[in-house]
Structure 1
Amino acid sequence: MGDINIRKVGKTGRITFTRPKALNAMSYEMCIAIEDALDAWSDDDQVKMLVIDAEGEKAFCAGGDIAELYETGKAENFAFGQKFWADEYRMNAKMFEFCKPVASFMQGFTMGGGVGVGCHASHRVVGESSQIAMPECGIGLVPDVGGSYILAHAPGRLGEYLGLTASRLAAGDAILAGFADYYIHEKNWPELIAKLEETGDWTLIDAAAEPVPEAALATQEDEINAFFGGEALPDIVNALKASKSAFAEAALKKLSRNSPLAMGCTLEIIHRVRGTETLRPALEQEYRFTYRAMQNGDFLEGIRAQIIDKDRNPSWKHALSALPATAVSQMLMPLGEAKLTFEKGD
């Protein structure tokens, strides 16, 4: 398969993203191929652990390939996107729950769909070029692929801040926020991966770990906790508007770019997921939103403004200062028979 290389090497199952010119964006076919590999390797005694990496310097995986989602949505074929997300979330759950150690090596951009693969591994490695983010609110989606689980379990209100502002995380910040575990210089990755392939000994990652760079966000934690502890989006917006601090002004500017509906739902999902110990409840909440995202949300308008026309001037359904609580509730209502079941062939 041209976009992804899945094979067994030594004592490892190996997954490598191989479309660096597209920043290793993950297509539906790549998602299904990963799931098939997880199914095959879970009972394969020859595979002691999994190692996931990517070709190219710019990105591990910069997100999902959303062109087809946009085209089908504009044609009012909402079923394609609903199946896409249901199948992707099922793969995310299998990655999180996989019965053997999984090591991911995430250079450059790791966003959206890339987070759903690399950041649910058990041994998550970042380096000097790593930039991790959940930028979905900027296109009218919520942080999904299980990203809301990571955000909900970040220290203090860091998850709310990252989910709403879509801020990028360098290596130290990514480890602080719970998106990664180890810092290792990228020049040392090939040798380490070769040793993992030879031995299947995941403890070699612990031995190779280097001192974690300082987390820039650590200096802002007090302000983040103060401003992003609100129950609903208007609470946070009003708190930021009432402050004249540089932090508040910068945060408000970031929020002003994103879909208010998506941010309101992101906040609610994070609050609902906090305290859970498994990924599936987070994926179920995310799916309630993405199932409705094309027909009732800002997703198609967000893609138009950011990707298609690139005018960076989306016309969101709601104003930042006037998001009704009912709009959030409607997007996150139970789906009944359409709910996410994690069963193949839905």
Structure 2
Amino acid sequence: MPTAASDEAPVLLRVHGRAGHLVLNRPRSINALNHAMVRLLDDALTAWERDDAIATVVLTGAGTRGLCAGGDIRSIHDDVRAGGGAASVAFWRDEYRLNARIARFPKPYVAVMDGIVMGGGVGVSAHGSVRIVTERSRIAMPETGIGFVPDVGGTYLLSRAPGELGTHLALTGSAVGAGDAILCGLADHYVPSERLAEFTAALADAEVSQVVAEYATAAPEGELAGQREWIDSCCTADSVEEIVDRLYTSGDHAAKETAETILSKSPTSLKVTLAALRRARALTSLEQVLDQEYRVSAAAITAPDLVEGIRAQVVDKDRDPHWSPAELAQVTDADVARHFAPRDGDELGLAAGTGSR
């Protein structure tokens, strides 16, 4: 049975009854994921998958702000500047394998998506078999704002959201609450935060379905259902430029604000994100999409926008990224296509069965 070395470990491993608890434990950074945490999670799943005494795995985050704010992007910034990004690509390789493993885990995997859940946090939670949100949940794939593209299976999830809601969320990076997360297929059940402690305690000895039936209730109504008409009509366009144009001319104030939000993001990231979503719709498995995302991520790290976006958001915090190219019209089809090109000798290989453990 795996055990955490101490309460200072970045992932705490605890067993209550027949439930194995994974606690992301970097609360000062809202439990941002690093490579060591990915390895610890994977090792714990290996042990608990084989342990008949463990019937359920429960994922939570330490602290009060959220489950996980995403990957440790400052370390990616530093790695690219100092070493060209090799460590970051190795991190993504193991992280995406973990995402696929969570989706196929043979025992109930209960993810408590309380508070902030973004980027890599979505990857370790939204592929689980039972996904819990609360009134405090704020879930997002905000990658276009840092010069990156939704990954960790995010393009798989968003490409399968109703209508064009996933396109809207991917391009804008907007966070959604509990009701909209359930609508978009990012979560399953709503449990009020004041009942979370009871909920997770009850998983020690009861069937997950019974505990969910006892504690889950109707989620507060979200916003996206009422915006579906203009989102679907605008975001079905074949290019980011056309989406923005439709948003501006739709006559809806919220649509115009959405256009302005999109135009603040990395032009290259926007175009690659739209292409990745459209391609993901045509792929049949999460593993195929993760293979594609690995190519995209490894290509993105060689372009200037990722380092610049992270600099602006978390290093200098001036919130004034200088994208290159600076305009959508300057991003060529070739710029987009290179993100999807096969990587000679360095494919993730999940769909082919060569990348799993």
What's the TM-score bracket when you normalise by the shorter of the two chains? over 0.9
Deviates more, 1:191-200 or 1:52-61: 191-200
For residue 344 of structure 1, report the CA deviation from its aligned partner.
6.7
Aligned partner letter, 1:97: R
Question: Which residue identity does 2:308 align to in structure 1?
Answer: E
Alignment of 1:255-274 (within 5 A): 255-274=262-281
The Cα of 1:279 is off from its aligned counterpart by 1.3
- The residue number in structure 2 matching 1:65 is 72
Q: CA deviation at 1:334?
A: 1.7
For the 8 Å contact 1:6–1:14, the answer to whether it is kept is: yes
2:119 corresponding residue in structure 1: 112
Q: Which whole-Å CA distance do the structure 2 matches of 1:39 and 1:195 have between them? A: 24
Q: CA deviation at 1:132?
A: 0.3
Counterparts of 2:249 and 2:256, CA distance in 1 = 10
Match 2:338 to one of 316, 321, 330: 330
> 192-201 or 258-267: which moved more?
192-201
SS of alignment partner, residue 59 of structure 2: strand
From 35, 41, 46, give the equivalent of 1:34.
41
Aligned to 1:227: 234
- For 1:63 and 1:207, locate their aligned partners in 2 and report how far apart those are by CA, in whole Å: 31
Local SS of the residue matching 1:24: coil
2:124 is paired with a residue of what secondary structure? Answer: helix
On the 8 A contact 2:26/2:62 being kept in 1, the answer is yes
Check conservation: 1:87, 1:344, Cα contact below 8 A: no
The structure-2 alpha-carbon separation of the partners of 1:228 and 1:294, relative to structure 1 and needing over 3 Å to count, comes to same
Distance 1:238 1:321 in 2: 13
How many angstroms apart in 2 are the aligned matches of 1:169 and 1:210?
18
Which amino acid in structure 1 is aligned with residue 332 of structure 2?
P
- The answer to whether structure 1 residue 240 and structure 2 residue 247 are counterparts is yes
Q: Is the 8 A contact 2:19 2:58 kept in 1?
A: yes
Residue 164, structure 1, aligned to residue 171, structure 2: yes
Which secondary structure state, in structure 1, belongs to the residue aligned with residue 321 of structure 2?
coil
Among 310, 320, 345, the residue aligned to 2:317: 310
Q: Distance in 2 between matches of 1:267 and 1:143?
A: 10
Query: C-alpha distance in 1, partners of 2:114/2:152?
Result: 19
How far the C-alpha of 1:277 sits from its partner, in A, is: 4.3
Q: Does 1:339 align with 2:347?
A: yes
What secondary structure is seen at the aligned counterpart in 2 of 1:98? coil
Query: Which of 279, 297, 300 is the matching residue for 1:290?
Result: 297
* Residue type at the aligned position of 2:18: K
**Alignment match, 1:49:** 56
Q: Tell me if structure 1 keeps the 8 A contact 2:97–2:356.
A: no
Q: Structure 1 residue 251 and structure 2 residue 258: aligned? A: yes
What's 1:144 paired with?
Answer: 151
* Counterparts of 1:322 and 1:155, CA distance in 2: 31
Task: State the Cα distance separating 1:323 from its structure 2 match.
Answer: 2.6
Higher mean Cα deviation, 262-271 or 202-211? 202-211
- Stretches of structure 2 lacking an aligned partner (at least 5 in a row): none
Q: Give the total of aligned pairs.
A: 346
TM-score using structure 2 length: 0.92
CA contact (8 A) 2:167 2:277 kept: yes
Q: Which fold has the larger relative contact order, with Cα–Cα distance below 8 Å and residues 6 or more apart in sequence?
A: 1
Q: 1-side partners of 2:249 and 2:331: how far apart?
A: 18
Deviation of 1:237 (Å): 2.2
Cα deviation, residue 57, structure 1? 1.8
189 and 223 in structure 1: CA distance in 2 versus 1, 3 angstrom threshold = same
Give, in whole Å, the separation in 2 of the partners of 1:206 and 1:273. 33
**Structure 1 contact 129–170 (Cα < 8 Å) conserved:** yes
> Deviation per CA, 1:182-237, whole angstroms, max 9, x where unpaired?
01111111112111112354432133210121121110001000110012222212
Q: 1:234-254 CA distances to partner (integer Å, 9 max, x unpaired)?
A: 221232344443123101111
The 3 A distance-change label for structure 1 pair 206 and 335 is farther
Q: Report deviation, 1:327.
A: 1.1
- Asked if 1 retains the 8 angstrom alpha-carbon contact of 2:348 and 2:355, the reply is no
- What CA distance in whole angstroms lies between the structure 2 residues aligned with 1:248 and 1:12? 45
Task: Give the alignment's TM-score, normalised by structure 1.
Answer: 0.95
Backbone CA RMSD of aligned residues: 1.7
Contact 2:17 2:204 in 1 (8 A): yes
Moved more, 95-104 or 287-296: 287-296
Match of 1:183 among 182, 190, 196: 190
Say if 1:261 and 1:297, in contact at 8 Å, map to a contact too: no
The residue aligned with 1:10 is 17
2:331 aligned partner, one-letter code: L
**1: CA distance between counterparts of 2:207 and 2:37?**
24
